[in-house]
């Protein structure tokens, strides 16, 4: 039996990475993919790249939360796969998702991938281990690890909030650690921001944003503070 899966990718000037992200999805066996690129007003070739790859393009005001919500609303498949435009699936992803959606108990759970940076730097491996610990122990996988859940569960959770950042943390907190399932497959994610900002400074930046969020600072103010 073929499973229907809506892949939702939010974009904003993502031409440099989107083609690779879409190509990595391919045409998987056992999954009927519909790909929706929800664009927040790109001024580069993002939308044309998406259309040429056969993706549906919808638009929304910039802000990842509302873009993800708009992309999810555009589809009808029973399962949703939220994917960042600078991340791409690796080998084993099809079997991992097929196994997850085949289990009836997972109708009320969500799944995420192991994070793997596209960098040979040893610091990338250390950060990957830290991300794995954070995801398992604290129940805080981020959006660059992908997120798979049934549309029914997504609706019951209330979907993505219309916030400019921390939309992934907001949703996984509502899901809860006990309902988050790690998949035995990698999500390959761009290391560009870490190579640009520093393998120590960038995680500290992210941790500061997370601390402010948990302290109750509105995401719009966090975005203004940290860019």
> What tens-digit pLDDT sequence spans the chain (227 residues)?
678 999 999 999 999 999 999 999 998 877 899 999 999 999 999 999 999 999 999 999 999 999 999 999 999 999 999 999 999 999 999 999 999 999 999 999 999 999 999 999 999 999 999 999 999 999 999 999 999 999 999 999 999 998 888 999 999 999 999 999 999 999 999 999 999 999 999 999 999 999 999 999 998 888 887 66
Instruction: Say if residues 188 and 118 touch (Cβ distance below 8 Å).
Output: yes
For 206-215, the CB contacts below 8 A with 24+ separation are 209/165, 209/166, 210/140, 210/166, 210/169, 213/166, 213/169
Beta carbons of 36 and 48 less than 8 angstroms apart: no
Residue 192 domain flag: yes
- Contact status, residue 90 vs residue 27, Cβ threshold 8 Å: no
Instruction: Provide the 8-state DSSP code for 121.
Output: -
Q: Which CATH number goes with the domain that contains 19?
A: 3.90.550.10
| Sequence-separated (6 or more) residues with CB below 8 Å from residue 173 | 139, 140
Each residue of 15-32: pLDDT tens digit? Answer: 999 999 999 999 887 789
Share of the chain above pLDDT 70, in %: 99
Q: For 128-138, what is each residue's pLDDT tens digit?
A: 999 999 999 99
Print the domain residue range for 189.
3-197
Q: What pLDDT does residue 30 have?
A: 79
Residue 203 included in any domain: no
How many distinct structural domains can be found in the chain?
1
In this structure, is residue 91 part of a structural domain? yes
**Residue 216 in domain:** no
Residues in contact with 106: Cβ distance below 8 Å, sequence separation at least 6, in sequence order:
100, 150, 181
On whether residue 26 sits in a domain, the answer given is: yes
What's the confidence (pLDDT) of residue 61?
A: 93
Question: First vs last Cα of the chain: how many Å apart?
Answer: 45
Q: What is the per-residue pLDDT for 31?
A: 84
SS3 81: strand
Please report whether residue 218 resides in a domain.
Answer: no
pLDDT of 47 reads 98
Helix 201-214 × helix 219-226 angle, to 10°:
150
CA distances (Å), 30 to each of 98, 181, 211, in order? 7, 20, 41
Between CA 154 and CA 195 the distance in angstroms is 34
In a domain, 32, yes or no: yes
54 inside domain = yes
């Amino acid at each position: 039996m073929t499973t229907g899966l809506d892949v939702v990718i939010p974009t904003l000037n993502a031409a440099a990475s989107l083609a690779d992200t879409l190509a990595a999805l391919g045409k998987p066996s056992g999954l009927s993919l519909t790909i929706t690129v929800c664009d927040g007003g790109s001024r580069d070739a993002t939308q044309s790249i998406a259309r040429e790859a056969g993706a549906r393009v919808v638009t929304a005001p910039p802000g990842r939360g509302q873009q993800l919500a708009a992309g999810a609303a555009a589809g009808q498949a029973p399962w949703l796969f939220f994917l960042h435009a600078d991340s791409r699936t690796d080998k084993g992803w099809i079997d991992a998702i097929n196994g997850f959606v085949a289990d009836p108990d997972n109708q009320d759970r969500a799944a995420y991938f192991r994070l793997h940076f596209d960098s040979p730097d040893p610091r990338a491996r250390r950060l990957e281990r830290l991300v794995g610990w954070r995801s398992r122990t604290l129940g805080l996988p981020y959006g660059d690890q992908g997120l798979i859940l049934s549309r029914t569960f997504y609706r019951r959770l209330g979907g993505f909030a219309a916030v400019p950042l921390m939309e992934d943390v907001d949703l996984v907190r509502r899901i809860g650690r006990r309902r988050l399932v790690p998949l035995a497959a990698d999500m390959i994610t761009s290391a560009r921001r870490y190579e640009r900002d520093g393998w120590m400074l960038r995680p500290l930046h992210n941790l500061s944003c997370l601390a402010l969020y948990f302290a109750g600072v509105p995401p719009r103010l966090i975005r203004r503070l940290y860019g």
